[in-house]
Structure 1
Amino acid sequence: MGQHWFLIWGIICGLCVSAELERFQQPSKGDGSLSFLVIGDWGRRGAFNQSQVAFQMGKIGEKLDIDFVVSTGDNFYDNGLSGPHDPAFEESFTNIYTADSLQKRWGDAEAQLSSLLRKIDSRWLCLRSFIVDAEVAEIIFVDTTPFVNSYFLDPEDHTYDWRGVNPRKHYITSLLKGVECALRESSAKWKIVIGHHAIKSIGHHGDTPELATHLLPILKANGVDFYMNGHDHCLEHISDTESPIQFLTSGAGSKAWRGDVERRNREGLKFFYDGQGFMSVELTQSDAEIVFYDVYGKILHTWNAGKQLVDHSSM
């Protein structure tokens, strides 16, 4: 929601001309592990249980010694930020996520980008699309909003800032090439892509067909392990039936309980919760653990995956 900016430039990547996504380094812990929280759709000045979710995030963040926090977008309800001096930034972010364990970098999948915001709160890292190189994992944040046709054809009462996006077709093509090149060249043990909109969901908004058509084939072809998103105000886990990709929705940072869930019997559905909460991710070279928590910190769903370690000494 709200305003969007993005800096983009072209380079030669492999054999394709594409948008190089800006990279940020995030070192793993001394043992090579990485842990972070994922939260979305949260910015309501503490209302609708936002403060309670933030409190539990602080407790889990301390327990896991998290390295950073991922935000899956829709951060400042109802209409984003009016500008870098909008008090909603501090009222919905700085003054809410106050726990010591949450004083880490926050990467956002749907950006309110201004250098002034980072001066107000140094945790804030928001671009349209970018990469976090975290050694054991490569995490690619993808600007999914321009993919959605209805935002252009029937925006209703929403106002979108398309500076840097038009011409839309060129922007999407360039972005997809940038994502494809980054994934193809990545040697990270875990590949994670984060967007605001769901590729697969049984929640209020459901699937985003434009992402299923244009982005999903790239994820499948390049060994992506997790696609994480918000948009639907719920917690959700769907396993892809045609690839190892896990679709993980964490968009329950504040207002939830929509009550209009569809297709509960969907193939691949592992978990769905129509209420507030958040998700944690723990990664090592050999294992991943995904955990969903409710507003009281209760564990609702846990999922584990393994990676085969390569013994280079025998090669």
Structure 2
Amino acid sequence: MLTRRASLGATMAALAAAPLAAPGVARAQGAPLRLIVPAPAGGSTDILARVVGERAGQLLNQPVVVDNRGGAGGIIGTEAAARAAPDGNTLVLGHNQTHASNQWMAPSLPYHVVESFVPVARLATVHHATVVPANSRAQDMAGLVAMGRNGGRVNYASSQAGSASHVIAETFVRRMQMEATHVPYRGGAPAATDTIAGVVDFFVSTWPQIVTFVRDGRVRALSVGAPMRLPEFPNIPTTEEAGVPFMAVDAWFGLFAPRGTAEARVAQLGAAFIAALGEPAVAERAVRAGLNSAPLTPLEFTAFHQSEVQRWREMAELTGIRMSS
């Protein structure tokens, strides 16, 4: 499942060199590194923070303290990070909602996803899949589209109003010119439960959340947003093959520091977390949590982040979705 392997030698060399790049970096050592997770404990974001943070702290010779601050679609924790001193001792493990879509969908956002932060490292991605109840008459994505056209109407679930699940599904509905009703839930688990029960017609879910139900036949996956078919499920087409390439929108998780953090410190932190993720034991734990290890350096992550902000802006404009204040 690993999508890109960082060179451990190169990252460790960067880690060793970074403290020499600027006097301020060395002074940042020793104090705990606060890693804000804008989500409750126990979810994918929290698991990733703890798995990678523990080893990164050892490489930095600096304890990493995970600070869970969930609520408001990740806004509460992300705002806390934006307001933190840019001394190199605060990071936030953001994702596509906190650091891309919220900019366009949340009213009066108390931070700016670009201007308030410096990208440090992308760590992981997760694919989305479109699933239907096991007894659905839609055998493929074309069949699902047909259900919502010519006088037909479908209902679709989402894990939360304004979530990636909601936005991707509504983008599909708009681009396919379907008639559909959005049914928001408080989390992916109840949305999956009602999909299984046939209460809704389809659900765009993260793959780890739905894979068990696909495996045991309680739902059918019509497409998955992966670049190639998944080895365990060779009969499930990719979104490209299914004729909906615009639905290949991964959830992603990456580290950000408050704007103003020293460039050398950003390089050091990015190198440490990428090196930690590149170790087999750490990568294996991430994979077990359903995450695709997908590291990007600060420079690479900056370019990727800018493209994602634009992508989510376009989807926000197409769908008109706004989060409730």
Whose radius of gyration is greater, 1 or 2? 2
Bigger strand share: 1
TM-score by length of 1: 0.29
Q: Which has the higher contact order (CA 8 A, sep 6+)?
A: 2
